[in-house]
Structure formats: C-alpha cells, structure tokens
Amino acid sequence: MLAAAAVGRIRKFARWGYNYAYHFGDLSAAALPGHIAAKAMPKYRKWAQALFESAPTSSPRSAKAEQALIETVRGAGYRLRDDPKVA
C-alpha cells in the first residue's frame, strides 16, 4: 500500500516526464507550437515527424502511430519482443 501511494506522487517514469529533458516535454516542443525553438531537438523533431501527420501543429494527428513508433524504436537500435524482424 505504501508503495502504491508513493507511485501516485511520482511525476516522471524514467525519462517520461513533462518538463524539458524528459521525453514528453521534448516531444511536445517538437510537435506543438508555442515552445522555444531551441528546445525542439533534432531527435524529437524526427520522432514528431514519424508519429504525426505534420509537426509542429496545434492538433497533432496520428500518422499510423503504432507502426511509426515501432519503426522509430527499431531505428534507435532497440529490440521488440515477438518481433519477426529480430531473430
């Protein structure tokens, strides 16, 4: 119970937080308008282009998000469980 209560207070999981220097914040800087241009790092601009039909935009629409995410993860050198392309 104590662990569950502590998890509720965590604002980030690994690098998946909302400030800059965390994936959500950095991806937001690349995908959404209104961020400081210098915060839209090339890695996250590439992610935004792969995940959304256009970026930056105030209304991001999925560009076949699941497949784009898989290809982005593969391109970063990670292995996917049950992936037929990884033997």
Residue 80 lies in a domain: no
Lowest mean pLDDT of 12-21, 42-51, 71-80, name the range: 12-21
Considering Cα of 17, then 65, then 76, then 45, what sign does the dihedral take? negative
Q: Which residue range(s) make up the domain with 62?
A: 2-75
Quick: pLDDT tens for 18-67: 777 777 888 889 999 999 889 899 999 998 988 888 889 898 888 776 77
> What does the pLDDT read at residue 52?
87
Specify if 85 maps to a domain. no
Instruction: Quote the pLDDT of residue 1.
Output: 36
63 domain residue, yes or no: yes
Residue 51 is assigned to a structural domain of this protein: yes
Prior bond of 56 cis (ω within 30°): yes
Within a domain: 83: no
Q: Measured between alpha carbons, how far is 85 from 83 in angstroms, rounded to an integer?
A: 5
Count of domains observed in the chain = 1
